[in-house]
Amino acid sequence: MKTRIHNIYKRLSEDVDGIIIMNSTKPHVDMTFYYVTGLIHGEYEGSAVLINPDGTAEILTSVLEEESACKSGLPVTAIKKSEEREECLKDMLKDIKKIGVNSSELTYSAYKKIKDSTDAEIVDVSDTISEARNVKDQEEIDRLKEAGDIASRVADKMPDVIEEGMKEYEVAAEISYMMKRRGATGDAFETISSSGRNTAEPHFTSSDRVIKSGDFVLLDFGAVYKRYRSDITRTFAVGGVTGKQERMYKTVLEAQEAALAMIEPGVDGKEVHNAAAEVIESSEFKGKFTHGLGHSIGLSVHDGSGLSPSVDIVLEPGMVFTVEPGVYLPGFGGVRIEDDIVVTEKGYELLTNASKKELRSI
Ligand SMILES: [Mn+2]
CATH of the domain at 232: 3.90.230.10
CA of 86 to the centre of ligand 1 (A): 39
228 plus 241 within the same structural domain: yes
Using CB atoms within 10 A of its CB, is residue 355 exposed (0-12), middle (13-18) or buried (19+)?
A: exposed
CA of 231 to the centre of ligand 1 (A): 5
CB contact set of 295 (below 8 Å; sequence gap of 6+): 301, 302, 303, 305, 306, 307, 308, 321, 322
174 plus 239 within the same structural domain: yes
pLDDT in tens, 69-89: 999 999 999 999 888 989 999
CA of 352 to the centre of ligand 1 (A): 12
47 plus 167 within the same structural domain: no
44 plus 146 within the same structural domain: no
CA of 221 to the centre of ligand 1 (A): 8
121 plus 175 within the same structural domain: no
Task: Look up the pTM and report it.
Answer: 0.95
Mean pLDDT of 113-126: 96
CA of 56 to the centre of ligand 1 (A): 34
Pairing of strands 76-79, 186-187: unpaired
The answer to whether residue 194 is domain-embedded is yes
CA of 322 to the centre of ligand 1 (A): 6
Which of the 8 DSSP states describes residue 313?
-
Q: How many domains does the chain have?
A: 2
CA of 104 to the centre of ligand 1 (A): 20
Please give the residue range of the domain that contains residue 89: 2-134
Report yes or no: 30 and 62 within 8 Å, Cβ to Cβ: no
pLDDT of residue 1: 87
Q: Give the domain-ending residue among 134, 155, 184.
A: 134
The answer to whether residue 358 is domain-embedded is no
CA of 295 to the centre of ligand 1 (A): 7
CA of 44 to the centre of ligand 1 (A): 26
pLDDT of residue 81: 87
7 plus 37 within the same structural domain: yes
The answer to whether residue 357 is domain-embedded is no
152 plus 172 within the same structural domain: yes
pLDDT in tens, 130-178: 999 999 999 999 999 999 999 999 999 999 999 999 999 999 999 999 9
The answer to whether residue 361 is domain-embedded is no
* End-to-end alpha carbon distance in the chain: 46
Peptide bond into 75 cis (omega under 30): no
pLDDT at 24 over 90: yes
6 plus 144 within the same structural domain: no
Report yes or no: 293 and 255 within 8 Å, Cβ to Cβ: no
The answer to whether residue 290 is domain-embedded is yes
CA of 318 to the centre of ligand 1 (A): 18
CA of 168 to the centre of ligand 1 (A): 19
Mean pLDDT of 111-129: 96
CA of 270 to the centre of ligand 1 (A): 17
